[in-house]
Amino acid sequence: MSHEITRVPESEITRRERHLMAHTRPYKLHDPFTWSYRAKCGAGAVSTCVFGSIVYSAWYRTPWYFGLAYKVVGTTAAATVAYFLGYAREHQSRTRDAVINHYMELYPEDFKQVNDYHGRPYSAVMLPWFPRRAQYNAYNKIDNSDYD
């Protein structure tokens, strides 16, 4: 049996990598995994604040519209802060990825083993393992007299 049968074509590897990388999937409203960090953080902050206000109203037995202005202002402030934190996170991750890709372009010889998509046999990756059990060697015999 040939190993070529089990190898994945380069186009499929590229498609999978693009599918997993951030900022490369097309945006879909019903799929939060395609949202940007900004949208995820803002939506998370809004949902947390709305849920918190519902629980607060239920706990203190007040109507949902009690203190509505404060709730709206607080939710808006939290969503704004979360949006900009998501923007900072997005900028940081894009900058990190750009720096790593640039370094890999400058020194491709250091990343030959990383770019081997088809993998290597375990014998080339793993070190041999020889169990060393101290309780079975001649110098350290177990004394079972305490357990009789």
All structural domains of the chain with their residue ranges: 10-123
**Token pair 């101290």: residue:** 134
List the single range of 46-50, 114-118, 143-147 with lowest mean pLDDT: 143-147
Per DSSP, 77 falls in state H
- CB of 72 within 8 A of CB of 49? no
Give the mean pLDDT of the chain. 82
Higher-confidence residue of 13 and 37: namely 37
Helix 37-59 × helix 68-106 angle, to 10°: 150
At 144 the pLDDT is: 54
Percent of the chain with pLDDT over 70: 72
Query: Which has the higher per-residue pLDDT, 34 or 84?
Result: 84
What DSSP character marks residue 32? G
| Whether the Cβ atoms of residue 25 and residue 34 lie closer than 8 Å to each other | yes
d(CA 94, CA 21): 11
Q: How many residues does the chain have?
A: 148
At 56-99, the pLDDT tens digits run 999 999 999 999 999 999 999 999 999 999 999 999 988 998 99
With vertex at residue 109, the alpha carbon angle to CA 103 and CA 115, rounded to the nearest 5 degrees, is: 80
Can you tell me the distance from the alpha carbon of 131 to that of 133, in angstroms, rounded to the nearest whole number? 6
